[in-house]
Amino acid sequence: MIHTMNITIRQLQIFEAVAQQLSYTRAAELLYLTQPAVSMQIKQLESEVGIPLFERMSKKLFLTEAGEELLIYARNILQQLVELDDVMDEIRGSERGRLTIAVATTANYFALKLLGEFYKRFSGTNISLDVTNRESLLKHLSDNTVDMVIMGQPPENMDVEATSFLDNPLVVIAPKGHALTGQTSIPLSVLQQETFIMREHGSGTRIAMERFFKQGGYSISSVMEMSSNEAINQAVEAGLGLGIVSQHTLELELALGRLEILDVESFPIMRHWYLVHRHGKRLTSLMSAFKRLVIEDSAQILE
């Protein structure tokens, strides 16, 4: 039973670091400890739990089933301590609140403007921002390692609260001077013959695009994958193919005349941006203020 265990917070911090890095050496460097100190703490924790938390195979470190379970609880406990620290700051009237946000790479273009406006209003805030792909956003939500996430499509199989706050139109882009530029109501059948530059499988834009073409009875035969929206824009500009991207990523390219939005039937595909956090999460006054800014003021800030 957990109440019979004498586990320290420090042990949980060290365990979480080793579990994340899957290396005693890298965890020690991260925590500014020696490798033997980390190893000793893990051995004491395993002795307290009564079962191995890690196993080594082919010189690689893996979590055992018990380790996987403990990691879930450790992260929840450590996150609750962070929230407790925030609450104590509020009670003491501190102005140095903490805000941790994770943002989809496509949303980075406007998320920075929102955070900039928020920082003007709450200049003492310590803001941590992770701009990452959909897979990492889902992990952040699953592990409860950030306060809030800005993403295109909330997870359907996770207990979260999601509020839409901004339209997210997906458009077809082509390099300046492409044969299709200037044409109107381009049929989807014509796009089938084109090469498309797209994000990796699992990205929100890729999922929405593939679903859209499948519903219309079409498929895209020639695909080139890129790991970022900037790379897609540059590849399209270089003439490697067409792209389907969020219009929010095109402000600079359109202003400089490097890319053009094609007039394609049924486009733009209208999606939405969402502010997402775990259901039942205790929001500090700072988190609530950020949520209000995003939901109520984003349209005005980004106009």
Tens of pLDDT along 81-112? Answer: 888 877 777 656 555 578 899 998 888 888 88
Assign domain 94-165+272-301 to its CATH superfamily.
Periplasmic binding protein-like II (3.40.190.10)
The Cα 168–Cα 165 span in angstroms is 10
Q: pLDDT tens digit string along 113-160?
A: 899 999 888 887 888 899 988 889 999 998 888 999 999 888 888 889
Instruction: Give the single-character DSSP code of 264.
Output: B
Q: SS3 for 203?
A: coil
All residue ranges of the chain with pLDDT < 70 are 1-4, 90-96
Report the length, in residues, of the chain: 303
Hey, CA dihedral for 225, 231, 235, 237, is it positive or negative? positive
Q: Per-domain residue ranges for the chain?
A: 2-75, 94-165+272-301, 168-271
Strand partners for 244:
172
Q: What is the pLDDT of residue 93?
A: 53
Cis previous bond, 268, omega within 30: yes
Cα end-to-end distance, the chain, whole Å: 56
> What is the phi/psi pair of residue 177, to 5°?
85, 5
Q: Which of 303, 232, 285, 252 is nearest to 122 (CA)?
A: 285
Q: Are strands 126-132 and 98-104 parallel, antiparallel or unpaired?
A: parallel
pTM for the full model? 0.64
CATH topology of domain 2-75: Arc Repressor Mutant, subunit A (1.10.10)
Residue located via tokens 């955070």:
115
Identity of the residue numbered 240: L
CATH number of the 168-271 domain: 3.40.190.10
CA distance 235 to 45: 51
Which single residue is written with the structure tokens 């890729």?
206
- pLDDT at position 90 is 65
pLDDT value of residue 1: 40
17 C-beta neighbours (distance < 10 Å), count: 19
Give pLDDT, residue 94. 52
Q: State both tokens at 266.
A: 């049924």
Q: What is the dihedral of CA 84, 151, 273, 154, to 10 degrees?
A: -90
Hey, do 2-75 and 94-165+272-301 end up sharing a CATH topology, with the first three levels equal?
A: no
Q: What is the pLDDT of residue 91?
A: 58
Q: Give 155's contacts (C-beta < 8 A, 6+ positions apart).
A: 138, 141, 276
